[in-house]
């Protein structure tokens, strides 16, 4: 039976993964064609971003039909074939459910516009001010007001994201019943997991204006959210021990996540939180250029590790996804230390307590594409904020510089399979530009290289399966105030793991507070790494050190090293 604590989830953004029919868009058949690669890598669950019928205003997160596959991605037969072939390789399929909102093109919203009172109550409508102003001052996460006016109705509807993404009214039992039916439908088709998009926003509280900011304190982790999630679990996937669920939690608190992902709370298996990915923001504002705060990054990672562990709750641990820039461009090095920094960043995440999520291309060190014109971008959030930045008086060059760092399109460029001009993604015209460095950063060039980033990730995945301490161990920060080293210890049934990472280009000497006598180096991004109490750490150095319960503290022992070449 699958255990989500020993599993690794690989995220596929179908539109950019593999195009099987030369139309420039990735599709389900393309994913099926790459299953042998994913099985070789060792992943257990395959999370697919939405492939449902959608106007694609927000790249599929604006769903117009929850039960139909958009023809650009394939057919239901293609999905069933994917589930069947994945199952043969011991891979389970996880789907992305967008239940906070629908597209305004959805039949429910169209019936609401037509005046059907049943469907009007599927959404959130409010009267505006007498002077024609919106119901309150809440801001959309994509910029501008979170309310859109419908003249024919004389009312405003709530959209926390794009104006074509109308928020659903979860207070309506009919809405909750509809969404439970959607979950059951996809379970019947073969899905074995769900990722729930911004699911902690589904319960709204007061609709008053926010004198402190943008309104998020009134709709984040709302008053009935735990009740709603418990109800969803109990009536759908709760009885299937192989079913895995993860909630994307926007601006959440750790205290709420103890309940969302508690072992005995009956809600979800694990949560995504994003606090550690705001360390290069100013407050909640990401459309700025500032260096990342390393100490804050450590403080957040360590506090979530220890806090969730102390409450028997589970994290999804990750750097990258379809909404985040490439981590090697963000916290690593695109230059001469590119490979070492990519391996180090992978080691940090994969040895933490929690289920690691690996985003397509992360395992080969894909970088941000470096787009230079607005015409290269497809993301509605990025395009909106480019204009917002320009309206604020920012020079065009500065606005582009910010997009090159923070745009969601940084992670959405085609998967780089080989060194051809279109990276082996398609023989057609890609829907978004290919990153120019695909000639040197690609799967084909790393498959047979024992020292490649890809081989390092394969070894990291194998570690979790081979050593219980990686999956089940507790967590203890080591030297948490060090200015350049991120290190921690994991322990389980007498086994000990020590993970040491130099987060910077500058070499550093570091003295470990743990006696490393008797430890074995399981994995490193530099050859010849040997455990010793005082370590000389080269640029972006990373070591995974292990001592088994049976090894004497003064006698070398433990399991044999797991080298990337043999992983």
Average pLDDT, integer, range 11-35: 98
CA-based radius of gyration for the chain: 24
**Averaged pLDDT for residues 508-521:** 95
**Which pLDDT score is estimated for 59?**
87
CA-closest candidate to residue 240, choices 99, 94, 35: 94
β partners of residue 282: 285
pLDDT of residue 531: 86
**Tokens 């161990």, residue?**
473
Average pLDDT over residues 369-387: 95
> If DSSP codes are grouped into helix, strand and coil, which group holds residue 178?
helix
According to DSSP, the β-strands at 355-359 and 9-12 are parallel
511 forms bridges with which residues in the sheet? 534
Predicted local distance difference test score (pLDDT) of residue 349: 98
| Look-up of token digits 């088709």 | 189
Q: Which helix (H) or strand (E) holds 86?
A: helix 76-88
**To the nearest whole percent, how much of the chain has pLDDT over 70?**
97
Burial class (CB in 10 A: 0-12, 13-18, 19+), 552: exposed
- For the stretch 258-313, pLDDT in tens is 999 999 999 999 999 999 999 999 988 899 999 999 999 999 999 999 999 999 99
Confidence of residue 1 (pLDDT cuts 50, 70, 90): low
Please, which residues bridge with residue 156 across strands? 126, 149
Measured distance CA(102)–CA(402) in Å, rounded? 29
Work out the burial of residue 438: count CB atoms within 10 Å of its CB; fewer than 13 is exposed, 13-18 middle, 19 or more buried.
Answer: buried
How much is the pLDDT for 327? 98
Q: State pLDDT tens for residues 54-67.
A: 999 998 999 999 99
Question: How many residues can be counted in the chain?
Answer: 567
**pLDDT attached to residue 214:** 87
Report DSSP letters for 189-251, one per residue: HT--EEEETTGGGSS-------SSSSSHHHHTT-TTHHHHHHHHHHHTTTT-TT-EEEEE-TT
Catalytic (active-site) positions: 197, 248
Question: CA nearest 294: which of 502, 534, 543?
Answer: 502
The Cα–Cα gap between 66 and 99 comes to 10
Q: pLDDT tens digits, residue range 84-140?
A: 999 999 999 999 999 999 999 999 999 999 999 999 999 999 999 999 999 999 999
- Extract the tokens encoding 193: 């997991």
Q: From CA 66, how far away is CA 77, in angstroms rounded?
A: 16
User: Considering only 309-313, 392-396, 492-496, 551-555, which range has the smallest mean pLDDT?
Assistant: 551-555
Q: How many CB atoms lie within 10 A of CB 20?
A: 18
| pLDDT exceeds cutoff 50 at 566 | no
Q: Are the C-beta atoms of residues 415 and 18 closer than 8 Å to each other? A: yes
Q: What is the pLDDT of residue 143?
A: 87
Instruction: Examine the pLDDT at 563 and tell me if it is beyond 50.
Output: no
- How much is the average pLDDT of 554-564? 37
- Tell me the pairing of strands 485-492 and 476-478: antiparallel
pLDDT, tens digit, for every residue of 467-488? 999 999 999 999 999 999 999 9
Task: Name the token pair of 85.
Answer: 């072939």
For residue 169, what pLDDT is reported? 98
Tokens in use for 190? 């073969």
Pairing of strands 92-97, 193-196: parallel
Residue-level pLDDT at 241: 84
Is residue 557's pLDDT more than 60? no
What is residue 90's predicted lDDT score, i.e. its pLDDT? 96
pLDDT at 189 over 50: yes
3-state helix, strand, coil split of the chain in percent (to 5) is 30, 20, 50
Provide the mean pLDDT of the chain: 94
Q: Which stretches of 402-552 are assigned E, i.e. beta strand?
A: 476-478, 485-492, 495-502, 508-511, 520-524, 534-537, 542-547
Q: CA torsion, points 254, 326, 350, 278, in degrees to nearest 10?
A: -20
pLDDT band for position 551 (cuts 50, 70, 90) = low
Residue 99 near residue 197 (C-beta atoms within 8 A): yes
The pLDDT-based confidence of 552 (bands split at 50, 70, 90) is very low
pLDDT, position 213: 77
Q: State whether residue 344 is helix, strand or coil.
A: helix
CB count in 10 Å sphere of residue 530: 13
Q: Mean pLDDT across the stretch 156-181?
A: 98
Q: Mean per-residue pLDDT for 307-325?
A: 97
The DSSP 8-state label assigned to residue 374 in this structure reads G
Pick 555 or 81 by higher pLDDT.
81
pLDDT of 564 > 80? The answer is no
């Amino acid at each position: 039976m699958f255990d989500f604590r020993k599993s690794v989830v690989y995220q596929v953004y179908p539109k950019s993964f593999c195009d099987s029919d030369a139309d420039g868009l990735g599709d389900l058949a393309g994913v099926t064609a790459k299953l042998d690669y994913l099985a070789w890598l060792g992943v257990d669950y395959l999370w697919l971003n939405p492939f449902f019928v959608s106007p694609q205003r927000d790249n599929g997160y604006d769903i117009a039909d929850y039960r139909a596959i958009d023809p650009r991605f394939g057919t239901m037969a293609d999905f069933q074939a994917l589930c069947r072939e994945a199952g043969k390789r011991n891979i389970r399929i996880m789907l992305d459910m967008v239940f906070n909102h629908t597209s305004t093109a959805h039949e429910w919203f169209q019936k609401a516009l037509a005046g059907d009172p049943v469907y009007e109550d599927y959404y959130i409508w409010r009267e505006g001010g007498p002077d024609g102003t919106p119901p309150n001052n809440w801001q959309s996460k994509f910029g501008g007001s979170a309310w859109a006016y419908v003249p024919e109705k004389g009312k405003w509807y709530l959209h926390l994201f794009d104006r074509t993404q109308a928020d659903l009214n979860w207070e309506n039992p009919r809405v909750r019943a509809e969404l439970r039916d959607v979950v059951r439908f996809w379970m019947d088709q073969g899905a074995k997991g769900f990722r729930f998009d911004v699911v902690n926003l589904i319960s709204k509280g007061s609709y008053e204006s926010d004198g402190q900011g943008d309104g998020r304190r009134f709709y984040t982790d709302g008053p009935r959210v735990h009740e709603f999630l418990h109800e969803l679990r109990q009536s759908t996937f709760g009885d299937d021990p192989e079913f895995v669920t993860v909630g994307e939690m926007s601006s959440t608190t750790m205290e709420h996540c103890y309940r969302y992902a508690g072992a005995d709370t009956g809600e979800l298996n694990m949560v995504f939180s994003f606090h550690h990915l705001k360390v290069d923001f100013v407050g909640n504002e990401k459309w700025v250029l500032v260096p990342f705060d390393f100490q804050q990054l450590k403080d957040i990672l360590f506090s979530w590790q220890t806090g969730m562990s102390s409450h028997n709750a589970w994290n999804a641990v990750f750097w990258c996804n379809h909404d985040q820039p490439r981590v090697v461009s963000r916290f690593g090095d695109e230059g001469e230390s590119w490979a070492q920094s990519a391996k180090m960043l992978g080691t940090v995440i994969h040895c933490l307590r929690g289920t690691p999520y690996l985003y397509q291309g992360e395992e080969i060190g894909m970088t941000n594409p470096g787009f230079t014109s607005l015409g290269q971008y497809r993301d509605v959030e990025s395009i909106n904020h480019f204009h917002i930045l320009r309206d604020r008086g920012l020079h065009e060059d500065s606005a582009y510089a910010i997009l090159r760092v923070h745009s969601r399109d940084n992670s959405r460029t085609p998967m780089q399979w080989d060194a051809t001009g279109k990276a082996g993604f398609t023989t057609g015209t890609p829907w978004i530009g290919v990153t120019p460095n695909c000639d040197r950063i690609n799967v084909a060039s790393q498959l047979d290289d024992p020292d490649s980033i890809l081989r390092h990730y394969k070894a990291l995945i194998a570690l979790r399966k081979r050593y219980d301490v990686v999956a089940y161990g507790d967590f203890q920060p080591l030297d948490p105030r060090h200015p350049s080293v991120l290190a921690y210890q994991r322990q389980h049934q007498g086994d000990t793991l020590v993970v040491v990472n130099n987060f910077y280009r500058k070499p550093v000497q570091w003295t470990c507070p743990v006696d490393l006598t008797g430890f074995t180096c399981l994995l490193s991004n530099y050859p010849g790494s040997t455990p010793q109490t005082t370590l000389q750490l080269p640029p972006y150095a990373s070591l995974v050190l292990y001592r088994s319960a049976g090894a004497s503290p003064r006698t070398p022992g433990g399991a044999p090293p797991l080298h990337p070449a043999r992983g």
